[in-house]
């Protein structure tokens, strides 16, 4: 099968995993992308907000006879969803959740409201503008997050009212969330083309650097697995739409063992190679999806491993 990945950046481990069973083409808006030297073919493309972005991708998919397009950059998702049919018409399946789910996941205020209305445990969350206009009874410390933020970009920790006053005078389009102390987990979730959940692997985040996990371990915690299963089933029941392909769902477990969900991201998590090595072969599963083969769920069927990441470099005389 022929897969196209967008915004490949430094996703070398992901590329190498998918190449086990597939021919992998990578695209990126920049040329300084380490992963370009690991894909089977590479194209430089316009930025996602360029008017030629979609037509360039469509041309590449035609030329390379792409079976499955997997976007990695959240800013592309809504744009690509609008052109899902055009990709399908040329034989390219877009591995991306339906629009209503993207709108829940890509806006943290929408995510919070989804949690609240579906009785999913989550930290108390407010719009920054509501706190600025109303003296609400809130508990410190707090975390400020951009509603459309990715990773750790634009996140601030607020210890008291004085700091909050400083930020609230300058920051718009932010949510404020009560800070929860505890153990952080990311659940790697994989759904089939109809929204059926195939796999859930919880990963404990042991060390995070610049928003990306560098030390992690996969854990067979069935409280986490069952709670995540309930969350995704509730997502799938909304308006009959489906979560499709990879997702990563983040939570914190406090000292009372309460699971508090904080984010849902309809894409690969940065630490997903640990899930691959723990025994969930996404590369083969994607191949089976496109071939129309029956795929049996394997929820909880993985081995527990520890992942310790380190830096490597590529050296070239020219780029």
pLDDT digits (tens, 9 = 90+) for 104-149: 999 999 999 999 999 999 999 988 777 766 666 778 888 888 888 7
Residue 115 domain-assigned (yes or no): no
Domain end call among 47, 77, 96: 96
131 and 233 assigned to the same domain: no
Query: Would you state the pLDDT for residue 171?
Result: 62
24 and 57 assigned to the same domain: yes
189 and 252 assigned to the same domain: yes
187 and 265 assigned to the same domain: yes
Residue 161 domain-assigned (yes or no): yes
CATH number at residue 141: 3.30.1490
Domain end call among 153, 178, 203: 178
How many domains, in total, are found in the chain? 3
Domain end call among 41, 76, 96: 96
Query: Would you state the pLDDT for residue 15?
Result: 98
134 and 206 assigned to the same domain: no
203 and 90 assigned to the same domain: no
Query: Would you state the pLDDT for residue 89?
Result: 98
* CA-based nearest residue to 223, from 254, 194, 248, 245: 254
Over its C-alpha atoms, the chain yields an Rg (Å, rounded) of 20
Residue 116 domain-assigned (yes or no): no
Domain that holds residue 56: 2-96
83 and 54 assigned to the same domain: yes
Query: Would you state the pLDDT for residue 154?
Result: 76
CA angle 216, 96, 201 (to 5 degrees): 25
With a cut of 70, which residues of the chain have pLDDT below it? 132-136, 151, 167-172, 238-240
52 and 140 assigned to the same domain: no
192 and 283 assigned to the same domain: yes
Query: Would you state the pLDDT for residue 166?
Result: 74
Query: Would you state the pLDDT for residue 60?
Result: 98
Residue 213 domain-assigned (yes or no): yes
CATH number at residue 199: 3.30.470.20
């Amino acid at each position: 099968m022929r897969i196209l990945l967008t915004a490949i950046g430094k996703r070398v481990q992901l590329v190498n995993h998918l190449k086990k069973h597939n021919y992998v083409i990578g695209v990126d808006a920049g040329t300084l992308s380490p992963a370009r030297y690991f894909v089977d073919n590479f194209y430089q493309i316009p930025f996602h907000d360029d008017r030629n972005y979609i037509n360039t991708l469509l041309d590449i998919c035609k030329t390379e006879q792409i079976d499955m397009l997997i976007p990695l950059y959240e800013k592309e998702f809504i744009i690509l969803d609008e052109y899902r049919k055009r990709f399908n018409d040329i034989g390219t399946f877009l591995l991306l959740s339906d629009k209503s789910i993207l709108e829940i996941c890509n806006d943290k205020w929408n995510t919070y409201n989804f949690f609240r209305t579906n009785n999913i445990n989550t930290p108390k969350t407010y719009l920054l503008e509501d706190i600025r206009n109303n003296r609400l009874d809130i508990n410190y410390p707090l975390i400020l997050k951009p509603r459309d933020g990715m990773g750790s970009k634009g996140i601030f920790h607020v210890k008291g009212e004085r700091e909050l006053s400083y930020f609230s005078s300058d920051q718009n389009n932010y949510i404020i969330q009560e800070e929860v102390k505890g153990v952080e987990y990311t659940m790697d979730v994989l759904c089939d083309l109809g929204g059926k959940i195939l796999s859930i692997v919880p990963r404990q985040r042991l060390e995070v650097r610049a928003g990306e996990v560098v030390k992690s371990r996969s854990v067979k915690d069935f409280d986490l697995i069952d709670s995540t299963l309930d969350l995704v089933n509730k997502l799938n029941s909304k308006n009959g739409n489906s979560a499709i392909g990879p997702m990563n769902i983040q939570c914190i477990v406090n000292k009372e063992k309460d699971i508090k969900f904080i984010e849902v991201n309809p894409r690969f998590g940065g630490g997903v190679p640990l899930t691959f090595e723990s025994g969930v072969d996404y590369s083969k599963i994607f191949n089976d999806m496109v071939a129309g083969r029956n795929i049996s769920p394997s929820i909880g069927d993985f081995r527990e491993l520890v992942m310790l990441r380190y830096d490597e470099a590529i050296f070239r005389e020219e780029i």
